């Protein structure tokens, strides 16, 4: 068994005795004694545990903020790991981000400050412009319970686009990381973590450990480690499987491999399905999106999974693979019930195919929740419309949060087929939705609220597609 190897604050680190299901946060605090990184919520919401990972992309080091509380230790193998302690060079003053926070008086009790420092550091080295929405997005995964955010935002604005302080070290660090041997089989005691590099290796691992848990990004599965403290005998990561790391287009569909993260998919979603891109930016935080995958969101089959209604409305199809071959099905067919899917034993989601919109088609997606950022959905609505002379030859309307699984509003679609596309023809929208859905009452919203919200989102979609007046006011 090879040890895990990674760069920790610029120094080569090797680990071979820590349990595979130890979180990166616990390892940093308990073994490396780097206690600047904090545990606040242990579920990826507060950002106090934020660290930055440097991973090689085309020979260069790409910095990304992640939640260390949700990551299992082997997930940092072959990475550059940067914590708040690693920013200040030996015998030098504070890092520019730290100094800017001091000058802006942007900290009070200090518990959240290391997480903000690392989030701003990652934003700085992404060389992004000082755009208010980008700054909001970069900081949305970090919470401060003491004060307002104005001084923190000002610090982030000051750091925008300034990636010069580590430009010289990127090439050296990238070269050192590329030379590290990858640990594909990490074993400690009765636990094993496997990281196959190809589909053949992945299927071989599944055959050897048929009860192993498949790990994509771990933003859902990681909760079972960080919150419930479960010890899994075997975990198989799909993150390094080369065949699952592809983004492509065949002229008709956008093709996303099963290991593609939300962050990696976003440029393509923005280009072809901008409304889905906007909704995806409200799915967790950057820390979450840098790890989580669309395939993982599908596999959990949550009735409030944000991407699932969108993929259903768009008519997306999946390629499922096993050692014995491949089969295809729509996302609608794939989701079979409450957290149930059509996946067979030893089968994986290999590819997601999203058909491009044709002439005359429009698509919009909406999310209702109690706060704008990083909140679980009360209702998600997604609509793909084809209009012809202001009539409706085709409407696909899918909702999440309205039933035991995300699904289409078939009675609504049938009732609107062939009718004029206007508000007047939606007078009976509530009764039509009631034929397809029986929402639940819970702390996120009552059944009546969910039904009314779903109907209003359809009305909003009609207004947006029939009026020249801009209606998209998402945040004030």
CATH code of residue 281: 3.30.390.50
Query: Is the separation of the CB atoms in 112 and 128 below 8 Å?
Result: no
What mean pLDDT is predicted for residues 353-382?
A: 93
CA separation, residue 79 to residues 5, 10, 57, 61, 348 (Å):
8, 11, 11, 9, 26
363 and 402 belong to one structural domain: yes
> What are the backbone dihedrals phi and psi of residue 274, each rounded to the nearest 5 degrees, phi first?
-55, -30
pLDDT score, position 220: 86
Helix (H, G, I), strand (E, B) or coil at 362: strand
pLDDT score, position 165: 52
Token reading at 261: 């993260």
State how far the Cα of 220 lies from the Cα of 283, in Å rounded to an integer: 12
Give the closest residue to 401 by CA, choosing from 332, 339, 340, 454. Answer: 454
The answer to whether residue 340 is domain-embedded is yes
pLDDT score, position 453: 96
Sheet of 80-82: strands edge to edge? 11-15, 4-8, 80-82, 50-57, 60-67
157 and 224 belong to one structural domain: no
Query: Is the separation of the CB atoms in 368 and 378 below 8 Å?
Result: yes
The answer to whether residue 472 is domain-embedded is no
DSSP, res 31: I
Ranges 85-94, 141-150, 204-213, most confident? 204-213
Residue 168 pLDDT grade (very low, low, confident, very high; cuts 50, 70, 90) = very low
The answer to whether residue 471 is domain-embedded is no
Query: Is the separation of the CB atoms in 316 and 294 below 8 Å?
Result: no
Please state which of the ranges 54-63, 90-99, 143-152, 158-167 shows the lowest mean pLDDT: 158-167
The CATH number of residue 146's host domain is 1.10.150.120
**Half-sphere exposure of residue 311, counting CA atoms within 13 Å on the CB side?**
28
pLDDT at position 172 over 80? no
Which residues fall within 8 angstroms of residue 247, CB to CB, at 6 or more apart?
Answer: 254, 255, 256, 257, 260, 264, 265, 268
What mean pLDDT is predicted for residues 292-314?
A: 96
pLDDT at position 323 over 80? yes
pLDDT score, position 470: 66
State how far the Cα of 123 lies from the Cα of 65, in Å rounded to an integer: 8
pLDDT in tens, 40-79: 999 999 999 999 999 988 778 889 999 999 999 999 999 9
CA separation, residue 104 to residues 46, 115, 134, 256 (Å):
22, 16, 20, 42
Which of 138, 164, 190 is where one domain is finished? 164
What mean pLDDT is predicted for residues 291-301?
A: 96
262 and 386 belong to one structural domain: yes
The answer to whether residue 473 is domain-embedded is no
293 and 396 belong to one structural domain: yes
56 and 25 belong to one structural domain: yes
137 and 79 belong to one structural domain: no
State how far the Cα of 137 lies from the Cα of 158, in Å rounded to an integer: 16
Token reading at 102: 């001091």
pLDDT score, position 63: 93
183 and 140 belong to one structural domain: no
The answer to whether residue 475 is domain-embedded is no
Which range marks the domain in which residue 337 is found?
245-466
State the DSSP H helix or E strand holding residue 351, giving kind and residue range, or none if neither.
Answer: strand 348-355
pLDDT at position 314 over 60? yes
pLDDT score, position 164: 56
CA separation, residue 264 to residues 174, 213, 280, 286, 458 (Å):
19, 23, 12, 11, 30
The answer to whether residue 271 is domain-embedded is yes
pLDDT score, position 316: 98
pLDDT at position 382 over 50? yes
pLDDT at position 17 over 50? yes
pLDDT score, position 375: 86
The answer to whether residue 259 is domain-embedded is yes
Work out the number of other CB atoms within 10 angstroms of the CB of residue 451.
20
Over the chain, what is the mean pLDDT?
92
pLDDT at position 141 over 70? yes
295 and 339 belong to one structural domain: yes
pLDDT in tens, 32-42: 999 999 999 99
The CATH number of residue 66's host domain is 3.10.20.30
Which of 237, 269, 293 is where one domain is finished? 237
What mean pLDDT is predicted for residues 24-35?
A: 97
pLDDT score, position 173: 76
pLDDT score, position 476: 36
pLDDT score, position 167: 45
173 and 156 belong to one structural domain: no
274 and 127 belong to one structural domain: no
State how far the Cα of 16 lies from the Cα of 190, in Å rounded to an integer: 14
What's the sign of the alpha-carbon dihedral 141, 147, 148, 150?
Answer: negative
What mean pLDDT is predicted for residues 316-327?
A: 97
Which of 237, 268, 291 is where one domain is finished? 237
pLDDT score, position 475: 44
Please state which of the ranges 5-14, 206-215, 216-225, 341-350 shows the lowest mean pLDDT: 216-225
pLDDT at position 289 over 80? yes
What mean pLDDT is predicted for residues 217-225?
A: 89
pLDDT at position 162 over 80? no
46 and 119 belong to one structural domain: no
199 and 256 belong to one structural domain: no
Question: Global pTM?
Answer: 0.94
For the stretch 433-441, contacts whose Cβ atoms lie closer than 8 Å and that sit 24 or more positions apart, written own/partner, are 433/402, 433/409, 435/411, 436/402, 436/403, 436/407, 436/408, 436/409, 436/410, 436/411, 436/412, 437/399, 437/402, 437/403, 437/409, 438/403, 439/401, 439/402, 439/403
The answer to whether residue 443 is domain-embedded is yes
pLDDT at position 244 over 50? yes
pLDDT in tens, 454-476: 999 999 999 999 987 666 655 43
Work out the number of other CB atoms within 10 angstroms of the CB of residue 167.
10
Query: Is the separation of the CB atoms in 356 and 254 below 8 Å?
Result: yes
The number of distinct structural domains making up the chain is 3
Residue 148 pLDDT grade (very low, low, confident, very high; cuts 50, 70, 90) = confident
């Amino acid at each position: 068994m090879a040890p895990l190897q990674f760069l920790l604050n610029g120094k080569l680190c090797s680990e071979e005795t820590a349990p595979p299901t130890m979180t990166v946060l616990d390892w940093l605090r308990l073994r490396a004694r780097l206690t600047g990184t904090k545990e606040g919520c242990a579920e990826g919401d507060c950002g106090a545990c934020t660290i930055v990972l440097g991973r090689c992309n085309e020979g260069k080091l790409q910095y990304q903020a992640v939640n260390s509380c949700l990551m299992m230790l082997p997930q940092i193998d072959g990475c550059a790991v940067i914590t708040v302690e690693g920013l200040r060079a030996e015998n030098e003053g504070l890092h520019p981000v730290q100094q800017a926070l001091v000058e802006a008086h942007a900290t009070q009790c200090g518990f959240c400050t290391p997480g903000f420092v690392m989030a701003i550091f990652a934003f700085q080295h992404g060389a992004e412009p000082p755009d208010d929405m980008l700054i909001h997005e970069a900081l949305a995964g970090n919470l401060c319970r003491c004060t307002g955010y104005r001084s923190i935002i000002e610090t982030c604005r000051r750091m925008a686009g300034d990636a010069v302080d580590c430009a010289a070290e990127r090439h050296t660090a990238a070269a050192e990381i590329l030379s590290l041997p990858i640990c594909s089989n990490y074993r400690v005691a009765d636990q094993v973590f496997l990281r196959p590099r190809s589909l053949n290796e992945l299927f071989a691992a599944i055959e050897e450990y048929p009860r192993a848990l498949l790990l994509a990004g771990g933003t859902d599965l990681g909760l079972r480690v960080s919150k419930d403290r479960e010890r899994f005998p075997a975990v198989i990561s799909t993150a390094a499987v080369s065949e699952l790391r592809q983004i492509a287009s065949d002229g008709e569909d956008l093709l996303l491999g099963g290991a593609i993260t939300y962050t990696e998919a976003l440029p393509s979603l923005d280009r072809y399905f901008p409304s889905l891109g906007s909704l995806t930016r409200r799915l967790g935080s950057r820390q979450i999106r840098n790890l989580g995958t669309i395939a993982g969101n599908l596999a959990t089959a949550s009735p409030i999974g944000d991407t699932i209604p969108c993929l259903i409305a768009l008519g997306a199809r999946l390629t499922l693979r096993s050692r014995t071959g491949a089969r295809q099905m729509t996302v609608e067919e794939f989701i079979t019930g409450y957290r149930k899917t059509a996946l067979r034993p030893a089968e994986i989601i290999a590819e997601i195919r999203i058909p491009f919109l044709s002439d005359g088609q429009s698509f919009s997606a909406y999310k209702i929740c109690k706060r704008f950022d990083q909140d679980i959905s009360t209702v998600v609505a997604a609509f793909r419309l084809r209009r012809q002379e202001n009539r409706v030859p085709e409407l696909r309307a899918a909702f999440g949060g309205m039933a035991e699984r995300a699904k289409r509003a078939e009675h609504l679609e049938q009732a609107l087929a062939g009718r004029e596309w206007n508000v007047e023809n939606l007078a009976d929208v509530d009764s039509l939705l009631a034929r397809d859905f029986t929402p639940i009452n819970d702390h996120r919203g009552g059944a009546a609220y969910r039904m009314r919200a779903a109907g209003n989102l359809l009305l909003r979609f009609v207004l947006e597609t029939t009026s020249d007046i801009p209606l998209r006011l998402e945040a004030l």
